Amino acid sequence: MEKQVYHLRREKIFQQMPDNSIALLTSAEIKYRNSDTEYPYRQDSHFYYLTGFDECESLAVLLKKKGQNHFILFCQDRDPQAEQWTGVRVGVNDALEIYGADEAYPIGEASKRMPELLAGTTIIYFLVNNSPEFDKKVFSWVKALGKKIRSGITTPRQFVDFRQIVDEARLIKSQDELQLMRKACSLSADAHVHAMKHCQVGMYEYELEAILLKEFYRHGSRFPAYSSIVATGDNACTLHYTRNDKMIKEKDLVLIDAGAEYHHYAADITRTFPANGKFTKEQQAIYELVLAAQQSAIQQIAPEVPWNKAQETILHILVQGLIDLKILKGSVATLLEEKAYLPFYMHNSGHWLGMDVHDVGEYRVQGNWRPLKPGMVFTVEPGLYISADNMSVAEQWRGIGVRIEDDIVVTEQGYEVLTEGVPKSVHEIEKLMKDRG
């Protein structure tokens, strides 16, 4: 995105900062998988949201002093010898030009310059507890400034979590962001279609994972937004199953929960389909119950509807359906009251979605469930998981795990489903799989 986009984002944040305040954001640290082998670098989402700057070892400062807004960026300076190994850096000069910083300095000068920047401010915003190392640095800079207090310098006295401002901004997606999210979602949807089309009994779960990743990569997404789940049969009842190493068997359902990250935006899709292309009677009954719950929950999405409406709708439909299938006994009201559904449905209806797969933003505001607003993006993902060793249900139901998940954006009129590209009715899925090679 253009530097103007990030400039406008910072301006919005500045509007909420009182005069003589400062916000400090550090880039993400390099993380190691083992020994000296690094994970692919992923910038901190807050940092990227406000800078568009993708390098490690950098520090963004938003300083509001005497009514003036300053964006100061500390980053690694150019160094041909180091760049020979780790790639080209933006450097201080281009940080001014390309990223619109008012001032830019080498990161090595941060500790020297920080007391001067802090002097005269009364509030410091930072992501408290995001990085214990950085918290320590912030306190050490303030402490260094405190030593000069007799020269008449005032030091900040309030340490405020920056999330309370930035999280709220990130919760409402702009048109620029929605464009990237549509792309993340559509390419992820395509990948799910490919996995369904290429699924064969006798393959291993990781072979389907490989198909998903190949499709992500092919469309310019270099990383999945989270570890892909490919769970067959009873493995689907383990909510965060990521071993993905079992062979796909004839009567298995295959649950795939996978989404790409595209230009720092996540998609999050789950589909469940029969390995051999045809649902059994029991699998179809559970599947259609979950689908009915999901569709009803989605249809109610509109501005001002409270966040928990989806979960309430899902719970009612699932409990009524489990009674109809004789898996639960009793009245809907009593079973809801007793939370009798918990052995079968133990999670929430979904979560905010954005730069992080479980994106930022409160679900309750002042004690009340948050009313939906245009630009909010979230998942709707009911499921039913009947464990293979749940002896309280009749045998034919055991080992069936189903989840269906789509990504939705709230619009002025209602909602838009971003992940429509993957079929989800029994008929459509069976047709797609029948036509496969």
383 forms bridges with which residues in the sheet? Answer: 403
Nearer to Mn ion, 134 or 307 (CB): 307
Query: Toward Mn ion, which CB reaches closer, 240 or 281?
Result: 240
Q: Smaller CB distance to Mn ion: residue 268 or 359?
A: 268
Is the Cβ of residue 186 or residue 379 nearer to Mn ion in the bound state?
379
184-213 positions binding Mn ion, by CB under 5 A: none
Binders of Mn ion among residues 367 to 396 (CB under 5 A) are: 379
With CB under 5 A as the contact rule, which of the stretches 180-188, 263-271, 320-328, 420-428 interacts with Mn ion?
A: 263-271
**Cα-based distances in Å from 123 to 15, 65, 154, 161, 344:** 14, 11, 11, 10, 48
C-alpha distance from residue 153 to each of 64, 144, 156, 356 (Å): 17, 12, 10, 40
Q: How far is the CB of 47 from Mn ion (least distance, A)?
A: 24
272 is an interface residue for Mn ion by CB under 5 A: no
CB of 224 to Mn ion, least distance (A): 13
Indicate the residue whose CB is closest to Mn ion. Answer: 268
Distance CA 433, CA 405 (A): 19
Q: Give the span between the Cα atoms of 199 and 437, in whole angstroms.
A: 10
**268 contacts Mn ion (rule: CB under 5 A):** yes
134 vs 226, beta carbon nearer Mn ion: 226
- Nearest-5° Cα angle at 403, 398 to 407: 175
Q: CB of 268: closest distance to Mn ion in angstroms?
A: 4
Kindly list the catalytic residues: 36, 240, 257, 268, 347, 351, 358, 381, 385, 403, 405
Question: Would you state the torsion angle of the CA atoms of residues 134, 136, 137, 139, taken in this order, to the nearest 10 degrees?
Answer: 130
The single-letter code of the amino acid at 68 is Q
Site string for Mn ion, 320-359 (x = CB under 5 A): ----------------------------------------
Q: Quick one: 121 or 379, whose CB is closer to Mn ion? A: 379
Residue by residue, DSSP assigns 189-250 as: HHHHHHHHHH--TT-BHHHHHHHHHHHHHHTT--EESS--EEEEGGGGGSTT-----SBPPT
DSSP state of 29: P
Q: Where are the alpha helices (DSSP H) in 122-204?
A: 132-146, 163-171, 175-198
Q: Which stretch binds Mn ion (CB under 5 A): 154-162, 195-203, 265-273, 335-343?
A: 265-273
In the three-class reduction of DSSP (H, G, I as helix; E, B as strand; rest coil), residue 296 is classed as helix
Q: Are 90 and 55 in contact (CB under 8 A)?
A: yes
CB of 259 to Mn ion, least distance (A): 8
Return the SS3 of 166: helix
Task: Rank residues 72 and 187 by Cβ distance to Mn ion and give the closer one.
Answer: 187
Among residues 422, 384, 424, which one has the least CA distance to residue 403?
384
Binding mask 70-109 for Mn ion (x = CB under 5 A): ----------------------------------------
CB 196 to Mn ion: min, Å: 19
- 311 or 379: whose CB is closer to Mn ion? 379
Residue 116: its H or E element: helix 110-118
In the complex, the smallest distance separating the C-beta of residue 194 from Mn ion, rounded to whole angstroms, is: 20
Site string for Mn ion, 222-261 (x = CB under 5 A): ----------------------------------------
Chain center to CA of 187: 16
Cα dihedral 428, 429, 434, 435 sign: positive
Per rule CB under 5 A, count of chain residues that contact Mn ion: 2
Short-list 103, 113, 106, 102, CA closest to 90: 106
Residue with tokens 């992820």: 188
Closest distance to Mn ion from the beta carbon of 379 (Å): 4
Which part of the chain contacts Mn ion (CB under 5 A), choosing from 177-185, 230-238, 262-270, 408-416?
Answer: 262-270
Q: How far is the CB of 225 from Mn ion (least distance, A)?
A: 10
Interface ranges with Mn ion (CB under 5 A): 268, 379
